[in-house]
Chain A
Amino acid sequence: MAARIERSRAGGATWTPSAEAERPTWGWIWQAVSGALVLGLVTLHMIANHFVVKQGLRDFQDVVAYLSNPVILVLEVLFLFVVSWHGLLGLRAVIFDFGFSPRTERRITRVLIVAWVLTVLYGLWLTSTVIGYK
């Protein structure tokens, strides 16, 4: 699937809307948006969890204290939602490269959405369990 990009007369770039294959897919747009979010969140996550921590890893007590900070909690949970979404959407793009029928592709999409929901639920369970140790 190819998309044609042209410079408009105003100097900016626009999508040529003519042919069926020449629009960005919803998957691609979501991938770009989630990718931008992941970029910021993963940078924060790596710095906050490893690069400013003595020895690069918190012991149990410090993990509980860290996650008990409401701002941190919101950022880490947001990171969980977005990074698993971005990763599974990327996996979908790789799987789709094998060239399946539209029906199979829809099925794969459903399976990956279920996988995303399960991942998020697991992460939320784990987070609440850890905070419960406080």
Chain B
Amino acid sequence: MSEQVRLRGGEPGLAAPTVPGASRPVSPRRRGPLGWVDVRGRRLGSWAFILNRLTGLGVLLYLYLHLVILSQLARGPAAWDSFVSLALSPAFLLLDVVLLFGLLAHGLNGIRVTLVGFGLVIDRQKAMFAAFMVLGALVLLVGALRIFTTG
């Protein structure tokens, strides 16, 4: 029994259509980033791949925003404490929930991709993806409640 798994520049093969002897999943879709927006023949694995790419880019963007904002610390107590009061506004708290979503979706899906990449649980990928996303939704719910209720 063998299964095709894309390691880089493609989708991890969540039941990707394969032909015996073919070196890659058979798909009418475009390759490369343009293929991400091409919905023909999409399977769950494709959506998981896109989710991982988009949340990864989003979280990377956040990382650099975060590092830039932290430079307020170098400017001393007044600068930092005025940022803190801004960050406690409801609009910022909503962005925190978006961030938490990105971290959970990317981190939990990353566990699945890593396990599959090392050849583990390859025949239970859909169930694993679903389980991780349910877990992520629960943590997101609890986290969002905490974010909006702690004062």
Is the A/B pair a real complex? Answer: yes
Are B67 and A25 in contact, with the CB atoms below 8 A?
no
Partner-binding segment picked from B39-47, B73-81, B126-134: B73-81
Cβ of B122 within 8 Å of any chain A Cβ, yes or no, is yes
Report the interface size for chain B: residues with CB under 8 A from the other chain.
50
Are A28 and B119 in contact, with the CB atoms below 8 A?
no
**Known: A2-B5, A56-B150. Is A98-B73 also a contact (CB below 8 A)?**
no
Query: How does the 8 Å CB contact mask read for A104-134 relative to B, with 1 for contact and 0 for none?
Result: 0000000000000001001100100110010
With a cutoff of 8 Å between Cβ atoms, the chain B residues found around residue A42 in the complex are: 103, 107
With a cutoff of 8 Å between Cβ atoms, the chain B residues found around residue A74 in the complex are: none
Cβ of A101 within 8 Å of any chain B Cβ, yes or no, is no
B1 contacts which of A7, A24, A36, A56 (Cβ < 8 Å)? A7
Cβ of B144 within 8 Å of any chain A Cβ, yes or no, is no
A35 CA / B96 CA spacing, docked (Å): 21
CB proximity to A under 8 Å, residues B11-50:
23-25, 31-33
Are A119 and B114 in contact, with the CB atoms below 8 A?
no
Interface of A (DSSP majority class): helix
Cβ of A94 within 8 Å of any chain B Cβ, yes or no, is yes
Cβ of A63 within 8 Å of any chain B Cβ, yes or no, is yes
Cβ of B135 within 8 Å of any chain A Cβ, yes or no, is no
Cβ of A3 within 8 Å of any chain B Cβ, yes or no, is yes
B103 contacts which of A12, A46, A96 (Cβ < 8 Å)? A46
A4 CA / B1 CA spacing, docked (Å): 11
A21 CA / B119 CA spacing, docked (Å): 16
A32 contacts which of B33, B57, B71, B118 (Cβ < 8 Å)? B118
Cβ of B137 within 8 Å of any chain A Cβ, yes or no, is no
**Known: A2-B7, A93-B9. Is A35-B117 also a contact (CB below 8 A)?**
no
Other A-B pairs, 12, CB within 8 Å; known A4-B4, A38-B107, A87-B63: A2-B4, A5-B122, A6-B1, A7-B119, A13-B118, A13-B120, A42-B103, A61-B77, A93-B9, A94-B53, A98-B32, A123-B67
